[in-house]
Amino acid sequence: MKTEAELTEICDQLRHGVLAEDPIILSIEEFSRLYEISIIRNDRQIPSIVLVNLGDQAHLLFPEWSRQEIIVESRTQIGREDFAFLSVVDWRGSDTRAPNFAEFLVQEIWHNKLRTGILYFTAFSTLLAIGPSLDTLDLVNTLLIQASTVFLSIYLIFIVSQSGRLSSDKKLFDSGILHKYYSDDRNVTRFAILTIAVVFGNTVLVHAPILGRTLQNPLADAPGRWVAAFSTAIAMTMLFHTFFIVADYYLGRTRDLAEREHVGHTFHEEYCLSASNRTRVVWESCLPTEVRCIEHRQVCSISAETVVVGEAIKAALSTKGSTPS
pLDDT in tens, the chain (325 residues): 788 888 888 888 888 888 888 889 999 999 999 999 988 888 888 888 999 998 888 999 998 888 889 999 888 888 888 898 888 888 988 888 888 888 888 888 888 889 889 999 998 888 888 777 777 888 888 888 888 888 888 888 877 777 777 777 778 888 888 888 888 888 988 998 999 899 888 888 877 776 666 666 655 456 777 888 888 899 999 998 888 888 888 777 777 777 777 777 777 777 787 777 666 555 555 545 444 444 444 444 444 444 444 555 455 545 544 444 3
- At 234 the pLDDT is 92
**CB 247, CB 158: distance < 8 Å:** no
- 278 assigned to some structural domain: no
- 250 assigned to some structural domain: yes
- At 46 the pLDDT is 85
Q: Domain boundary at 44, 62, 93, which?
A: 93
Q: How many helices (H) and strands (E) does the chain have?
A: 10, 5
CA distance 93 to 171: 9
Q: Domain check: are 26 and 128 in the same one?
A: no
Q: Domain check: are 129 and 206 in the same one?
A: yes
- 275 assigned to some structural domain: no
Q: Which domain holds residue 312?
A: 286-320
Q: Domain check: are 124 and 144 in the same one?
A: yes
CA distance 63 to 178: 25
Q: Domain check: are 130 and 35 in the same one?
A: no
- 280 assigned to some structural domain: no
- 279 assigned to some structural domain: no
Q: Domain check: are 291 and 238 in the same one?
A: no
Q: Domain boundary at 93, 122, 151, which?
A: 93
Q: Domain check: are 251 and 316 in the same one?
A: no
- 277 assigned to some structural domain: no
CA 231, 232, 234, 239 torsion: positive or negative? positive
- At 194 the pLDDT is 92
- 272 assigned to some structural domain: no
> How many other CB atoms are found less than 10 A from the CB of residue 61?
18
CA distance 17 to 119: 62
Q: Domain check: are 260 and 309 in the same one?
A: no
| Cα radius of gyration rounded to whole Å, the chain | 32
Q: Domain check: are 262 and 295 in the same one?
A: no
- At 282 the pLDDT is 53
- At 319 the pLDDT is 55
- At 213 the pLDDT is 64
- At 266 the pLDDT is 79
- 229 assigned to some structural domain: yes
**CB 176, CB 94: distance < 8 Å:** yes
Domain count, the chain: 3
**What is the CA angle 85-86-90, rounded to 5?**
150
Which of 284, 80, 221 minimizes the C-alpha distance to 72? 80
Q: Domain check: are 129 and 165 in the same one?
A: yes
Q: Domain check: are 207 and 311 in the same one?
A: no
Q: Domain boundary at 55, 71, 93, which?
A: 93
Q: Domain check: are 166 and 251 in the same one?
A: yes
Q: Domain check: are 259 and 290 in the same one?
A: no
